[in-house]
Structures are given as C-alpha cells and as structure tokens.
Structure 1
Amino acid sequence: MQTMNLRGAKWLIWAGGIRNVVRPIWYTLWKACQDLSFHLHTDQREKEWGKVVEARPKDKEAQFELANGGGLRVEFLTQDTVCVSWSRPDEYLPPYSLVEILEAQGSDHEVTLSSDKDYWELQSPKLKVLVHKSGALSFHLLGGELLTGLFPPVRKGTGFRHRFKLQRDVKVFGLGERAFGLNLYGRSLWLWNRDPGGSYGFGEDPLYICVPQWIVWNKRCSYLVFYDNCARGKISFGAADSDVIEVKFEGGREVFYFVIGDLPALLMRYTWLTGRPPMPPKWALGYHQSRWGYKDETKVREVATQFERFKIPVSAIHLDTDHTDRYRNFSVNRQRFPHLEKLAAELRKKGIHLVTILDPGVPAEKDFSLYREGIQKSMFVTTKSGKPCRAPVWPGWCVFPDFTRLDVHNWWAKQYKKLFAMGIDGVWHDMNEPAAFVIWGDPTLPLRAQHSLGAHQCFHNVYGLLEAQAAFKAFQDLRPEKRPFILSRSGCAGIQRYAWTWTGDVESSWEALRLSISTVLNLGLSGIPYSGPDIGGFSGNPSPELYLRWLQLAAFLPLFRTHSAADTREREPWSFGEPYTSYAQEIIRMRYALLPYLYTLAWEASTYGWPIVRPLFWRERVPEELVEVDDAFLLGEAVLVAPVIRERARARELVLPAGTWYDFWDDSSKHGPGKTHLDAPLDRIPLLVREGSILPMADIERPERMFLHIYYPRTLGSKESVLYTDEGDGYGDFRLDKFKLVKKGGRLEIIRSSEGTHEWPYRQIIVVLHGAKLTKATVDGIPIQVHKNKVDTDHLFSKCTFVVSSSEEVDDKCHTRT
C-alpha cells in the first residue's frame, strides 16, 4: 500500500506549502470511507457458470449455453489463436486494448467440431481445444500434449476467478512493468496501475503499467494468455499452489486470448490483437536530457551550450513542471520562460527538440479557463452524487477528465494546440494512473468514482491509455506532417499504439540498475517495445561509477534519457568530471553511430510487434540456463549486451546462446552454448556480435558515410540482414535494403536487393570484415583494393564478393567504428 514518506512530504511542502500535506490527510479519510462503502455494496457471493447444456457450431467457432445463464464462446481467430469469452445479456464494456479492425492474417483455416460423451472438441491445423461438459476447458497440441487446462470458472459479483493448470518446469514472463527478475513464476502480482510514491526498488508491486498478458515458456512449446480486461485484478503464478495460475478480476470483460508459438510468433500475434507502435521520429532514438529543476530559459540554454562545448550529441531536452504556471495544464510560466517559442526554435536549429511534461489533473480553480470550461461542459470524472471528483495533486485540489467519453477525448486533444504553437515537439504524460496524494492506502481516485460507463474500479487501468490516445489524435490533427512523440508513465495493453514509456521513479542503486534490465525486457514481452529507466535512478545520487555503468546500459535501450528528482545533484554527462566525462561522451556518440541499426529495429517493432530489447532465449530453447539470464539481453538479432551491474567489477560471466560471437571491441571470438568470461574495463560495456550479422553504423562526423560491419560466419549457408531508411520523420517514401550474406567455402558474397523508392542517403560505403582475413574483393564484378580488412566504395552495390582465409584470425584489428 502507498504511504507518504518523509521525502514525499518534503516535496509537497516545497511545491505548495503546508496545505499540500493537509489536503492529502482529508482526502485519505474521505476516500477510505468511499472505498469501504463501495466494497460493502458489492456482491461478494461466488457462483459457477454451471455445466454446458447446449453447443452450437458456427464457422470457426462454437457457442455454448451454460446452465446458470449466459454463454461461452470459443472462436479460432487464426490457426494458433483462440478467443474464449463468457457473456451475460446485461454486460458490455468496450475492448479498449484491442485494435479497432483486425487485419486478415495468413490463409484461411478450417476448424472442426466434434463431440464425446464428456466434451466437445474444436481443432485447427495447429491447436485443439476441449470444452468439457463440466464447464472446464483444456488446450492441447495436435499430438494430444496438454498445454494447460482451465477449471470451471467462478463468478464473484461483477468479477470472476479463473484457475489454470500449470505444467512443471515452466517460466513465466510479461505482465507489463514489474520490479522483479525476468521470471515471474512463484509470485502473486496485482493488476492495478499505481504510483509507488517518489522512489521504489526491487519487490515493489504494483507499478505504473500493468498488462494482463503473460507468456508461459517450456521446452516443448510456449503459449501466451491475454485478458482483455482493464478492471482491478490479481494473478498468482504458482504462489499459493505450485501447479496453478489463479486469475482474479473485480469486474470487466470475461474474455481471454490463447496463442501458441515461439516468442517471435507470440509477440506478432499479440500485437496483431492490441496494435503495433508507429514509426517514431528518428530523433527520439537519440539522447534525451531531463531534470526536475531546469527552472528557467537561462538554465536550459546553459545545458544546451554545454553539450556543444563537450561535443556530446543530444536530441531532446525535457521540461518538468518548472516551466508551468502553478502546475496548470498546457501553461507556461512567462516569468521563467518569457520566450519559450524562441527558445524552442533556437534549440531545433541545433537538432534539439523540446519535450514538456503534462499531468491530467486540472486545478479546481475558478480563474483557470480550462477548469471553467470543463465544469460548464461536465467533462470530469464525478462522485456517486454527480459532482466532480476532486483529489489533491501538485497544484492542490484537482479534477480529472473522463477520457472514456468521446467528447472529452476530443476536447482534451484540442488543448495540445497551445503546446505545438510554442514549438513543443513531444509531450511527457506524468501522474496519469491517475495519481493522487494520500497518507496511506491507494493513491488514486475512489473505486466508486464515476466514468461515463461505470465505476473507476473498471476504468482506472485504461486511463493512461485513453489520455495517450487523445494526445495521439492531437498530433494527427494539428501536426499531420510530423510523427508523434508521446512518453507516458501509465498505460495498459495497447499503450504501444500511441506512446513510449519509462520505468518511473526508480531508486539510485546497483540493485535498481540490474532491475532496469528485467523490467524493460518484461515490458517488451508485453508488447511495449519502447521503454527505459531514468539514467542513474530518479531518486538519490549515484556515484560516478554507478552513473557511468547506467549510462552504458541505457545506450542500448530504446529510451535513452537521464532524469532525476529536484533534490538530487546535477546529472548531465559532464557532471562527474574526468575521466567520466570522456567515457560518457564516447558511449553517447556510439549510440548515434548505431542509429541506422536502431532505426531498423524500430521498423521491425512497427512491422512485426517485436521488442527492440529481447531476452537471450528469443529464438533459443537450449541451453535452458539462458531462460534464467536477466542481466543481459539481445539488441535485435545481432548484438548481445552484457551490462556491468556490480560495483567495482571489471569483468563478468555470461551464459552464451549457441553459435560464434565476436567481441565488439577486439574481434576475439566466443563460442556458445555455455559460459564465457568477458572483460569490462570502466570505459567499456561488454558487447558481442552474432556471427553472420551485418551491422550498419553511421559516421557521426561525416553523415554521408556508412559502415557495414560483416561478422564472418563459421558455417556454410546464408543469412539475411535488413536496413530500413526514410526521412526520419513524416510519412514519405521509405526504402528497405536486404543484404544476403552467403558463405561458399573460402568466399563470402553479399547480395543486396531493395524495396521502396526513398533515395539511398549515403555517398560512401565502407565494408569491414571481422573474424577472418580478407585477401581479395570485388564490387559488382570489379576488383577493389583491400585495406586493413575493409573495402571502400562510392556507390550502392548489388553484389560484393570477398575471398577470405577462414583459418586465420585478423592480425590487424580494425577499430573503424566511429
């Protein structure tokens, strides 16, 4: 439960005086009474749906009538995806997490329905579902192997309870944002978005983004379960009963989707249901600098100037609540930021984009026009009596837009025009669980607060999603030529359609550094590919070493942002002095060199729904030890990142996936599967590149030049790598270059093909071979000079052929990486 700590109380007094502590006391007592009354008037009786009394087949589904009213529907959406739903005539809630229209997936599939004395059987070419006459269900592979079974479900008032049979030796992943290791088996976890209160560490639950979706991994076949339900709930993964997953929801839709396949297939199918992220503006993949404490234009200009002085690239500066007028939404403090429009234009000329914070709570102040307009049009969440529901946040008493209403959604979207007119390029949604200040208990609105379709109990988790949807509409309507950049603290399944996220107010500690890895991985396995922590931790002051190791890790995560609380020491890349400034400069510059690769991974996320950061077992099932690794990850298919997560460590151990892996820094080779030792001097993060990969890297000093790093494959055959390019913003032409690497004895061929009409953006290509001695080369049939294991061409080739000495390691290591 949330309890206001001394740190939180200090911030509140600092922000608005002693009244900012008195208000939460009154609100906490009032809310406790409201929630108690809500629970006392909620039906808590349990009731089974009852036995199946009738079955009606229909195309690719079957509908079953249940003894105690209502019905069960089992529908094969694809060969490997089943939707299971229970319905009552009086029950309807919108499927907020789903895309509006599901695109056709693959060829048509046939589903057969047969019956036995004890069950009905539905079967596709990949999956078999048994509906037992008792009301239970079971899911099987075609060979008959049981994946899981669902005991007869139980209704409890407006909610329900499901219990799944769990096989032995499984691992469980997903469920959104979690402050635990990667494997969630053995834990009981809440589904209720929550602000932990300014600082959190390992074991805090729940956090800001809860997704009712999980993946069960085993040696034979993995499966995914997703509940399209945004009500409050709780899931136990074998915590009370080791072979049972227990699912409880206090309300909402009783429907889940069951999918089988390997991890890439599961994420493709899940994001087919809930949506895939649009391509971000390319600048969003650069470095972001933020701080609660950039109090005026002078300070922001000073920070931007220092980046130029130290020759450290930066793509965005974030403005926290310091820039607002008394914390009011869409406002600017003109004393501190008198010429924000001019500042934004100056920074944009330098390639720096301004991102501003925005909270959903509207100050309940009669002299605030947004509040007056909202009251006049009845735009806010209400109490049971119909009055606007008020809760204390940073400005004091606030009311909250009811985003479940389309007119409120459109009204809020129009307000972003004020930000865009000032030159703001991105928005940062904070406090949007929605959060409220309390002394104890749940820091949000009362469970019985009223949205247009029902109680807050069922709409709390979807609040951040709907706010992000309104912001996305604002970008589409008001800046149609630019791609949106929205950063949202809260959300649920489907948030990836509109926004990125970050891991909130994580503490500054070595344990929290490690925690960031598993948190981002589980978000990715929950369909949310764009996330990252506040570098160095939000609360507390990291040592120079901890800051640097955190920066090195974050350089390979989707969101690369430093941010910290107002009472922490400054944390710009130069704040710790030498040698840390030089080391920080080097790793940030490397991030920009990797942008062609990262941008291609963004295209993969948009096209397939795959996470940018992936677990080591992404495409592997052996060795099983890989599934336990939560302190290293894959960046796409090619790069393995092994961050240093222990103080004063200068080396680390790692379990490698199968194949040959090359050390990024010195080209030495490692062979998996199995354990390996990696050196980790203070200025370097251990990086490995998979054999057969083609890693594109930019020259940040000469943007017209591209490096293609080829990592010599030890086995015969072929492998394809892709490179996606476009203008970096907007919705113009694109191109997708496919590089097929073929090994034939002592020869390597790189065969290129392309799609799209966007012009190739580079005038010079340097192809570098790693892992073998390059002796001869031809480009499109013309011999070309080899120098230090690389070739240089001034045109985009169709075919490049290398003659190599496969038995020799490269004597003169090439470090041309920029």
Structure 2
Amino acid sequence: MQVATSSGKYSVKHYPDTIQSWKKEGNYFYFYTSATILEIRVISDKIVRFRYAADGQFQRDFSYALSEKLEESPENFDIREWQESFEIYTTAIRVFVARENLRITITDTEGRIINQDETGFHWQYYLQKGGKIVYCTKLIQEGEAFYGLGDKPTDLNLRGKRVENFGTDAYGYAKDTDPLYRNIPFYYGLHNGIGYGIFFDNTFRTLFDFGSEREDASSFWARGGEMNYYFIYGPELLKVAESYARITGTAELPPLWALGYHQCRWSYFPDSRVREIGKEFRQRGIPCDALYLDIDYMDGFRCFTWSPDGFPDPKKLLKDLSDDGFKTVVIIDPGIKVDPDYPIYQELVQKGYACKRADGALMEGDVWPGKCAFPDFTDPKVRDWWAGLFQDLTAYGVRGVWNDMNEPAVFELGTFPEDVRHDYDGENVSHRKAHNVYGHLMSKATAAGLKKHLMPRRPFVITRSAYSGTQRWSSVWTGDNMSTWEHLWLASVQCQRLSVSGLSFAGSDIGGFIGEPSGELYTRWIQLGAFHPLMRTHSASNDTGFDQEPWSFGPEYEAVVKSFIQLRYRLLPYIYTTFWQYAAYGTPMLRPLAFVAQDDPETHDLNHEFLLGDSILISHVSEAGMLEKSVYLPEGNWYYYFNDARYAGKQAVTIPTPLSEMPIFVKAGAVVPQYPDMEWVGQRKVEEMILQVYFGEGITHSILYEDAGDHYAYKTGQYNLVRFKQASEPGLFRLKKKFVGRFEADYRHHRLKIHGLPFRPTSCMVDGVAHELPAEALQAAIVEIQLPRNFEEIILR
C-alpha cells in the first residue's frame, strides 16, 4: 500500500508477513517474521505488553511513565499452537497471534472477544523527518464506547473522534480544541459489558482515531519510536484504572491543606495586596488554605528571585500568612532569563544544562522575562540541579510550587523547534521525542526538590503539562480556560476524563481564567469545584481591575459561595479518604457514571453526572437561569442531599436548582464522615468526627481513612482505617465499625446523624449494652446520637 506524503512523494506502508519461528523466555514470547519481531510480555493475568520491532531491531526499552514498583505477577500462563494461530493463555484472558500476519485477537476465558486487530500493526518510513511512523488498527466492536486520553475538551465518550497528543499552550481553547496541554496516551474501550484499556507508551506525537475515518475501525499511531502498548483487561472499568496505576504508579498522599480551597490571580501584587486578600478571607469567615503568587512576585520574572519593590521581605510576608493559616504557593516557569548577571542563568550555561539546537547553539526563545534559555529536564543531572534550587524558596516559607508554561511554551515559536537536542537519560534525541515529557520531567524535578527541602512535611506541586505517570508527584489543572458556561461544562468533563486517565488530583480555574464571569456563573462554578479534588479560583489580570474572589459579586452570591466552600471543608475527611483510595489502589476519585454502572447503556454517553468517591453523586448546573435539571441516577437508592428525599435509581429524575443548591445525591447505606466547620486545616483540634449515615436496606460498606494530614508517619503505620458495615432492614438499623491503625486522633466521640430512618426507634443497643436515646433524637427527622470513638456496633429497633 502507498500513502501520499505532504511533499507529494509516496511512502510504502509495511505489514508483517508469516511467522517463521518463535520462542519463549520466561514470561516473554517472541514471534519472528521475515522482517518484524513481536514481543509479548505477560505482566499479570490481565496485563500484557505488545512490542514490535518493525525491521527486526528493538530500540532501548526505556520509559519515563513506568512505576519503579511495577512487578510481574502472572499466576499461570503458557502457549498453545494451533493451525492458524498461537494462543497465549492466562487465568483471565486468551491472546491469539495469527500465523499469517501477527494480528492479535484477545478474548476472555469463555471466548468472548475483548479486543481484536483489524489490520493490526503496520508502519512506514517517515521520509521527511526520519525514523518510522508506527500504527495499530483495531476493529470497533458493536456499541463500543471509548474514554480516557487526559484533558480532551470534548464529550466523555470518544466514539467518532480523532484526537492528538502534542503538549500545546492552548490559550483560550474551546470545546473540541485539540491538542491541549497534557499527553496521556491511555484509553478505555467498553462493549457488551466488557471493559479494557490500552496504554500506548510512546512519547512522540501520537494520534488516536475512534471511528472518525472509518466507523468500524479504531487506530493509534506515533510519528516516531516503537509500537509499544499495554493491554489491560478489567472487565470492570475501575479495575482497568487501577491496573493502569499499577503500571504508571500511584499518587502520594498530599498535605491535607492542599485539599482545601485555593485562591489565585495573575497577579496579586504587591505584598500589601496579598495581605489584604488574606485579611478579607479571615474577616468574612470564608475558608481558605492556599494563596498563590504569580510571576509578578519575581524580580523581572527571573525564577527563584523576589521583586525588591513588590516583595521586599518575603520571609516575613510568608510567616505572617502562615500564622494566619495560609500556605503560599509560588509559580516557577522553565524559561530562565538570558542575563549574564543572573546566577541561575550563569549556572545553567556554565554547567551545560541548557537545551541546545542541533548545531550546538543555545535554545533561546521569548517568554515572560524576555529572551530565555531552558533547562534540559531529560538529563538527570539537570533534574538534580533544579531540585536543589528550591532550598531558598522553602526556607522563605513556600509550601507549594506551580509549574506553568512547560509544554514548553515559547511566544514567537509556539514551542521548541524539532532540532533541539535532549539527553533523554543518556540517549541523545531530538525534541520530537522529548516534547511530550518536558513538563512531566520538570514537575518531577520540582517535586523532588520540594520533598527534600520541606521534609518531613509533604510537598504540593501543580503542573500544566504532563505525561503518563505525572500523578506520582503532581496535581494538574485544565489550563487557560474562559469565563463562559461552555467552559463550566468543559471543566466537569475534563476533570472526569483526567481522573480516569490516572490524574485524579485535578481542577479547573474556577470562574474562568480569561474574561469576567457573572455572579451566577462564578457561583455555579464554585459549586462544581467544591467536588473536584483540586479547588482553585484563578483569573487573569485585565484593564477593568476586576478581581475574582468569593466576595466579588455581592452579598447574595457571596453567601452561597461561602456555604459551598464550607461544605467542602466539612467533607474533607470523605475527600481525604477518597484520595487515600486513589493513592493506595489507583481508583479514580471522580468516576463517570459509565465507570460505576457500565452494564447500564444509559450511562455510556452521560457527561454531567459523576461520583466523587464511593457515595456522593454530582450533577452540576450548567446553564444560566436553569431552574431545574434532569439527573440520571444509577441503580440503587439515592438521597437528595438538601432535603433527604429518596429516589430509586436507574432512572432520570427532575431536581429544582435554586441558586443555593445544585443536584447532590448520597448513596443509600453510605457513611459520610465530616468535620465540624473550620476556616483552614489545622485551625483547631477536631473534637468530634461527624458520621452522616444514610439508611439503606441490605449490606453496604464505607470507609474512613485518617492520619496527621502532613508528614510521612503514615508510611510507618501511623494511620487509621475505619471500616463501616451497614446491615439494615425494615424496622432495624445496624451499623458495625472495625478499626485498624495506630494514629491517635484528637477527637474522642462520633456524632451519628442517621438520615432516612423509616421507623421511630424505641430501643438502642451500643456494643450489646442498652443506650438511652434523648427525646429530641426520637422526634427529629435526622436521628442524632453521640457515641464514643471506640464503639463497634449500634442497633436501633
């Protein structure tokens, strides 16, 4: 087959021919054709890697995405030979390799097709740039839906779409803009109740087509590198997500304050303005934990410096903010100003740490400081040097760092030219291969520096660009969005997509970065943001001098905004527990309904509804003036948060949406832990842990994870894992609690608030002993009971 190139020349597409020989080496299988080698590596019963050497020579087996903890653990596997194929089998799947052309068919143990090649692997020479373009084309199964691929600003189901991974500074992007900032080459397929994933570990520009060109075929390809992908079988989508995290790594627990509310602007300047913002939060009683300093805090935008005019005494400023409960997060970009008198620039050049063009000249380009040079973060020596630069910032009191412009972005060029050279941990490659991991490695070096210099406190990093595996050290946000209702919708979809793509610790610029939202839009965005793992307002400077803080839109909106930020803080134990699930297992924090009810076809194309954690369902208000909204509830019973009205699932229900509310539901049977009201994490000792318990028939399970909220003692057992089991039925409420751990929490009591109890209790037993219920508890719609922290069982009849 011949394909026209942009120059009008033709390049032949090459396909594997007949298998001539094969061999097995441990858990590796090799199949040899006249020119191509296929390597199949069985990592576990449900994870298999496929790697092709197009011309019989494998490239270096190296990846920036893989977790150092990835271990091979297949239980039972082997190979069988058939007339037309080879069959590699595990306890969960069968992998058939066609003798004629290496095409792959993967089935479950009952023979149901999970994933199947169409033309399969093929390639062509990249005549213009060198190397090869490698392809893999697969059949789309009947009714198949596709999800994942990071921050794509389009419908959650990617069926019918073509998208691209090439980190891009997409200022003011719109729906369907592509590519964007992040490069996550991982997607899910779902058909006939079967879920699987494919992680294409290739850092070149990669493209994915899910039936856009041909409705019955999906393809993924890269303009360089190898065809190297991991197949992950679920069949549950959430299990696929957890297996992907096994490959690329799980997050570490952040400091608890990082799950609070963050306030940012381009730019709070000078230091007196920063103090004013902090004072306003405390005087108004609006919770907030983090204040950000954008590029104007620097001396002429030179990274790791302070403006002598605007921030003459940063150490005192940051201490005063800390004394008032605020953590300070500062921006650091990759561009280092070309200035012979600037020590960091001197080191960068003298040590040979700067990126260079093919002819040896420095890679220079204009960014905020003017002409800049750029560190080569693919060099481990440069990463170590960069990490060391954070010592002074942390000594001043900086608690978090915000990496921006790291696609990398260059004003007049867009990004680096392709001839820029990179070390790539000893390989010496062009920017074509390094582009999609540049920001990934910058944030890795930043996190390493903060972790070292903040020890024993936990670091907080937020990055704009990322590759698979960035979740191991950083959070992300959705980039330079706009103050429109469309972008509020996009914020929900993008954060859901990022979550199932391994990057749960994500949020959007609440209110929009570009433009000025109305009070209604800002309030609705705050309501959504309260249920995103990262909750940050951020906005750009503008000629009107408009600032975007919770009080900027008048008392009516401020009251609602304050109430939702307060709700966020009350839910911190639940959110922190959900983060623990993510950190321990890789379970996405935000779960689209297709991921929790994949057997229900009604959920496959839903964009608005998602679960935060196991039990709280959100459907944000997405249009101006919306007075009611239809919300689809998955199977089960659900309580409307604001009035405890109970709804049966597997149907759409219509919910009123006054400004003070948004559709929030809690799953029947759930135990939702809550803190008392606070204005910042650590403001005061938590004297009582509140347990919001929602009556549900049958057996349901909930958990509470707790530790000190900072430091690393949890890694040596200083944590508690509290498991709840509700086993209730008509006329009986029973809640059991099991406690494991060695963390000594401040509180000594639980206050149970039991919602939806369908009977008036006449007796209460706590750990087998009669417990008197106060009269007011018996009369209230929500039954409240105070119990010691060490209770094990409560029964109401």
Normalising by the residue count of structure 2, what TM-score does the alignment of the two structures yield? 0.93
Alignment-derived partner of residue 764 in structure 1 = 749
Question: Does residue 89 in structure 1 map to residue 76 in structure 2?
Answer: no
**Residue 44 to residue 336, structure 1, CA distance change in 2 (3 Å):** farther
Which residue in 2 is equivalent to 1:554? 529
**Residues 69, 249 of structure 2: 8 Å contact kept:** no
Q: Which residue of 2 aligns with 1:694?
A: 671
> Which of 690-699 and 129-138 deviates more?
129-138
SS in 1 for 2:257: helix
Q: Is the 2:700–2:726 Cα contact (8 Å) retained in structure 1?
A: yes
1:459 paired residue among 425, 434, 453: 434
For 1:663 and 1:802, the matched residues in 2 are separated by 25
Alignment of 1:471-510 (within 5 A): 471-510=446-485
Give, in whole Å, the separation in 2 of the partners of 1:196 and 1:697: 38
Which structure 2 residues correspond to residues 177-256 of structure 1 after superposition, within 5 A? 177-197=151-171, 199-256=172-229
Structure 2 counterparts to residues 327-338 of structure 1, below 5 A? 327-338=301-312
Q: 1:517 aligns with which of 492, 497, 512?
A: 492
Other-structure match for 2:414: 443
Q: Distance in 2 between matches of 1:471 and 1:619?
A: 35
Amino acid of the residue matched to residue 782 of structure 1?
Answer: A
How many residues are matched?
758
CA distance in 2, matches of 1:446, 1:623: 47
Equivalent residue, structure 2, for 1:326:
300
Match in the other structure for 1:725? 706
Residue among 97, 107, 124 paired with 1:156: 124
Amino acid in the other structure paired with 1:209: R
Bigger mean CA deviation after superposition, 134-143 or 597-606: 134-143
1:452-509, CA deviations, whole angstroms, 9 ceiling, x for partnerless residues?
A: 1201011101111111111121123222201110000000100100100000101111
Measured in 1, the distance between the counterparts of 2:280 and 2:438 equals 38
Pair 1:67-2:34 in alignment: yes
Aligned residue identity for 1:357: I
The 10-residue stretch of structure 1 (547-556 or 372-381) with the greater mean CA deviation from structure 2: 372-381
Q: Which residue of 2 aligns with 1:815?
A: none
Counterpart CA distance in 2 for 1:94 and 1:112 is: 26
Distance across 1 between alignment mates of 2:659 and 2:311: 39
Q: Which amino acid aligns with 1:204?
A: T
Q: Distance in 1 between matches of 2:449 and 2:303?
A: 15
CA distance in 2, matches of 1:81, 1:743: 39
CA drift of 1:617 comes to: 2.7
- Per the alignment, residue 643 of structure 1 pairs with 620
Q: What CA distance in whole angstroms lies between the structure 2 residues aligned with 1:749 and 1:392?
A: 65
Aligned-pair CA distance for 1:662? 0.5
Give identity over the alignment, percent.
31
The amino acid that maps onto 2:671 is I
Report deviation, 1:794: 5.1
Alpha carbons 1:357, 1:427 under 8 Å: kept: yes
SS at match of 1:211: coil
- Give the Cα–Cα distance (whole angstroms) in 1 for the partners of residues 637 and 295 of structure 2: 49
Asked if structure 1 preserves the Cα contact closer than 8 Å seen for 2:134 and 2:222, the reply is: yes
Q: Pairwise mapping of residues 66-465 of structure 1 onto structure 2 (< 5 A)?
A: 66-69=33-36, 71-87=37-53, 88-89=56-57, 91-92=59-60, 94-103=62-71, 108-133=74-99, 134-150=101-117, 151-157=119-125, 158=131, 159-197=133-171, 199-261=172-234, 262-438=236-412, 443-452=414-423, 453-465=428-440
1:778 and 1:801 in contact (8 A); partners too:
yes
Matches within 5 A, 1:653-672: 653-672=630-649
Secondary structure of the residue that 1:565 maps to in structure 2?
coil
List alignment gaps of at least 5 residues for structure 2. Answer: 126-130, 679-683
2:551 corresponds in structure 1 to 574
Q: Does 1:596 align with 2:573?
A: yes
The alignment's C-alpha RMSD in Å is 1.9
| 1:104 shift after superposition | 5.7
The alpha-carbon deviation at position 82 of structure 1 amounts to: 0.7
Choose which of 21, 28, 36 in structure 2 pairs with 1:54. Answer: 21
Range 391-400 or range 700-709, more displaced: 700-709
8 A contact 1:774–1:802 mirrored in 2: no
Q: Deviations over 1:351-385 (max 9, x none)?
A: 21000001001112212111111111111111111
Gap change, CA 1:280 and 1:43, over 3 Å in 2 = farther
Stretches of structure 1 that go unaligned for 5 or more consecutive residues are 1-37, 805-818
Contact 2:158 2:210 in 1 (8 A): yes
Letter of the 1:139 counterpart: I
Q: Secondary structure at the match of 1:722?
A: strand
Q: Deviations over 1:22-74 (max 9, x none)?
A: xxxxxxxxxxxxxxxx998x9955333433211112333311122115x2111
Q: Deviations over 1:80-120 (max 9, x none)?
A: 11111113536226211001231465xx5111211122211
The one-letter code of the counterpart of 1:191 is: N
Separation in 1, partners of 2:796, 2:198: 49
Give 2:32's aligned amino acid. Answer: E
Which secondary structure state, in structure 1, belongs to the residue aligned with residue 481 of structure 2?
coil
- Once the two structures are superposed, the pairs formed by residues 24-63 of structure 1 within 5 Å of their partners are 46-63=13-30
Whether the 8 Å CA contact 2:16–2:33 is kept in 1: the answer is: yes
Q: Structure 1 residue 706 and structure 2 residue 650: aligned?
A: no
- The C-alpha deviation readout for 1:705-733, integer Å capped at 9, x for no partner, is 221111111x33x2221101111001111
The 1:365–1:774 alpha-carbon spacing in structure 2 relative to 1, beyond 3 Å, is farther
TM-score using structure 1 length = 0.90
2:771 is aligned, of 783, 792, 795, to 783
SS of equivalent to 1:501? strand
- 1 CA distance for matches of 2:116 and 2:600? 28
Deviations 1:745-781 (A, max 9, x none): 5222211111210013313321011112441322222
Alignment correspondent of 2:516: 541
Asked whether the equivalents of residues 170 and 216 of structure 1 are also in contact (C-alpha less than 8 Å), the reply is yes
Instruction: Give the aligned partner of residue 724 of structure 2.
Output: 739
Q: Which amino acid aligns with 1:124?
A: T
Shift in Å at residue 800 of structure 1?
3.3
Distance change >3 Å, CA 409–CA 782, structure 1 → 2: same
User: SS where residue 579 of structure 1 aligns?
Assistant: helix
2:662 corresponds to which residue? Answer: 685
Post-superposition shift, 1:736? Answer: 0.7
Aligned mates of 1:744, 1:536 — CA distance in 2: 45
